[in-house]
Chain A
């Protein structure tokens, strides 16, 4: 299949799935199978693109032109392809989990839920393959709009309040700051195309570079840099599959992906390095890493703790870009994958615990591990990967980030990264420990609380993937190398 057709199909298939979800009301099994098939097809499509293109960059395909200079157009480049692979692959896993979760938990409005889910995936595919900032902005906003009903899904006043925060911050930052940054870029550079080496070199200088970067970084609210991080914990009112795929993988990664794209293809790493414009961002990211970890420590609600952990981990990626070295950027790219795999495992485990016991508080989970061994072992593996211990995927990205910081002689940043790992240990491992070693022990055999296969298998699978990622990290790095080399 032609690559361009495959790009379009990877957006169209989820769209079709969304339409099926709205119209097939009476046959839930049929509806969910169609979505499953769509997710597999989407993934295969992205695989075909991978097979066709490898880690090259394809020519831009202009879908249509909105006005002169503003086009909706797509291309394939390594970072975007990696993101698309990740999102579409994990969609399959999350869909299976989501069907189990929504049914077991007796949630309502399945059709609307899965329709919005598919629409969100279509938007993510658009973001991944966009070849200019306008296209990216278009799909970025579409992603915000399509995920809003998912956060407000329950319709309770708490859900509405959370959804309002979610929508307010994401739309507010994107229209208030990002849009201005994009138009400013267009005015000074005359183009919005993602170009290797950036398009701003020589067009802007001095403190204005830092100002433009400021507008971008805060305008991309999805990257959850403090102080615009409040939407992420607020979004935790959504059903867990949403938290798992969207708020650990798709939406937040769309945010940091956008930051990386802007850093690499709009500013250009060398330009950032020479102008020193990203220096402040490095410290802000470091601050977010530590502050969010500290807040996570205080949270007793498991999903809230994971949300703050996500905020902290996202800033690793922003930090990698702000370091403006090849190592840093590669580490950031790699961390997108590693963190996604680890965090989705943790969220799915949290959802499993909720479905089985309706417990959300960590302090109530004493002894649960003995009843749900698979879930808790998967949770342990995910935690270790987030902490960054070998032999799990997360160790590589942290290693590269530390190397990047060493390149820039930022030893304080190295300290921050190490301290953050220790904090990760402090807020993630107690959950496992409580589950297995605390609580009253009785020797009477008890019934396992693991729910249906649909619910425990997906986190077990992603936990296994965390392990596999440790061994293929090198290949992923090799795959990503073109984004930092200038031919």
Chain B
């Protein structure tokens, strides 16, 4: 619990986080209250047991069996992390829900996937998910993902260790495009560019080592906190997503380039 307090304190210092100006999806992590999770899962057993287990770990949990109800929930705007099952009964499926969440906010989404097939995982990540666990999962896998997300968040704040590198000019010609680590935002000229927590952190890692190649494995460990056996496709999909936000032409990246067989490199222009 001590680590939670530490994170909360750092969040208390952060005022720039809301410069993005979301109407909804404000992070509650900055308060002393434990993060609020929204579980969207149509299987009663999993939904109820998962909510109980997460509450035991101290999270505030809201759960819904269908996407429409989750979107109408008055606490929607206060959710810190969404846990979303892809295959829901009738109506909207998990993919639609993730896209809707992304339309409204940059709050992290963890997919609870019944499928480990390449196709569905990649589709969910492309829809905007940050990470995933596959069923049958153990609660400790979900906890590990949540912990990793929470560790990730404070780095959006100016950290003492990065004090000297508050602003990264990524593209001076267009905008200019600036990653402001003090404010925790990405700006093109005067406008904020929407990036999710994970996208921001990925860009931040790349910007810190601008001009150097970072392997997919290294990015996976630094940004997602996944070990050696993590899924490197997560990195690939996020790189694609970041490109659509920073590149002039995402199909011909000039800034965030692929170094074949080695990894990715950010070339600030």
B partners with A = no
